[in-house]
């Protein structure tokens, strides 16, 4: 009797035990178009980087300006301020907020890079704050992600402040901020809250500001006009 080659047995075991495609955490296959989309996105980055590498100009020196801004892809600070790589030290998070890691990053910028200006840059039509307004009106009781919960907890004070003054406004004038006007007020309030958080949670940055070695300013980028409005405190 002819024996079966053990290598064929191994190959058969491998074929029958290897899934045809990776399954996600729910045990379901991701739609095939998602993989195609991911491949196209990777290709766009690789091709874009090739173009960048072929005609980049090396710039010496480091930025003296720090920016805290939203992660929204439509508001890149370098484009808004018409600056080149190396001119801005940017720290971005959804909703223009700071946490311990971002504050540490800012302290590094101020102390080691000698940055002299820190801009907290909000923007009109901010999706994060629009979501936060909805969350304030209809707070959810259960969160699938605690990370998202802490994000909204940080945005909530700016929303609550505007909604509270809205109640007074309605009592006095029978009018209240709604829609875009409400969002604009929350965006501005959120910039001020983030500036306050920086001063309160980073004694180092606060001291540098007190010593006039660092200027902390707030601003809102208008996505329709392209103009930056500087906030007077």
- Residues interacting with Zn ion, by CB under 5 A? 70, 72, 126, 128
Between 121 and 214, name the residue whose CB sits nearer to Zn ion: 121
| Residue position matching structure tokens 């907290």 | 120
For the CB of residue 17, give the shortest distance to Zn ion in the complex, in Å.
Answer: 46
Between 128 and 191, name the residue whose CB sits nearer to Zn ion: 128
Q: Which of 196, 178, 179, 182 is nearest to 96 (CA)?
A: 196
How far CA 50 is from CA of 41, 43, 57, 85, in Å, comes to 14, 11, 14, 17
Secondary structure (3-state) at 220 = strand
For the CB of residue 94, give the shortest distance to Zn ion in the complex, in Å.
Answer: 7
DSSP E strand stretches across the chain: 65-69, 89-92, 117-123, 215-221, 228-231
- The span from the CA of 16 to the CA of 203, in Å, is 61
For the CB of residue 197, give the shortest distance to Zn ion in the complex, in Å.
Answer: 17
Identify whether the C-beta of residue 29 lies closer than 8 Å to the C-beta of residue 23.
Answer: yes
Between 72 and 209, name the residue whose CB sits nearer to Zn ion: 72
- The span from the CA of 227 to the CA of 219, in Å, is 10
Q: Which of 51, 85, 48, 45 is nearest to 65 (CA)?
A: 85
For the CB of residue 157, give the shortest distance to Zn ion in the complex, in Å.
Answer: 17
Between 72 and 184, name the residue whose CB sits nearer to Zn ion: 72
For the CB of residue 142, give the shortest distance to Zn ion in the complex, in Å.
Answer: 25
Between 66 and 126, name the residue whose CB sits nearer to Zn ion: 126
For the CB of residue 162, give the shortest distance to Zn ion in the complex, in Å.
Answer: 16
Between 114 and 180, name the residue whose CB sits nearer to Zn ion: 180
Q: Which of 78, 116, 118, 84 is nearest to 102 (CA)?
A: 118
């Amino acid at each position: 009797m002819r024996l079966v080659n053990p290598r064929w047995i191994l190959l058969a075991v491998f074929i029958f035990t290897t899934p045809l495609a990776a399954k996600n955490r729910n045990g379901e296959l991701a739609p095939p178009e998602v993989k195609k989309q991911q491949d196209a996105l990777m290709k766009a980055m690789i091709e874009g980087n090739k173009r960048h590498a072929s005609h980049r100009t090396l710039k010496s020196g480091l930025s003296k300006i720090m920016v805290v801004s939203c992660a929204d892809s439509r508001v890149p600070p370098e484009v808004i301020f018409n600056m080149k790589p190396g001119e801005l030290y940017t720290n971005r998070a959804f909703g223009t907020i700071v946490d311990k890691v971002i504050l540490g990053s800012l302290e590094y910028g101020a102390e080691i890079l000698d940055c002299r200006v820190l801009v907290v840059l909000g923007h009109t039509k901010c999706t994060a704050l629009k979501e936060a307004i909805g969350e304030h009106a209809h707070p959810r009781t259960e969160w699938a992600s605690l990370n998202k919960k802490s994000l909204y907890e940080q945005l909530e004070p700016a929303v609550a402040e505007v909604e509270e003054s809205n109640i007074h406004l309605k009592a006095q004038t029978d009018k209240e901020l709604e829609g875009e006007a409400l969002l604009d007020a929350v965006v501005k309030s959120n910039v001020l809250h983030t500036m306050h958080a920086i001063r309160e949670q980073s004694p180092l940055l606060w001291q540098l500001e007190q010593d006039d070695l660092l200027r902390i300013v707030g601003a809102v980028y208008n996505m329709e006009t392209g103009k930056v409005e500087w906030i007077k405190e």
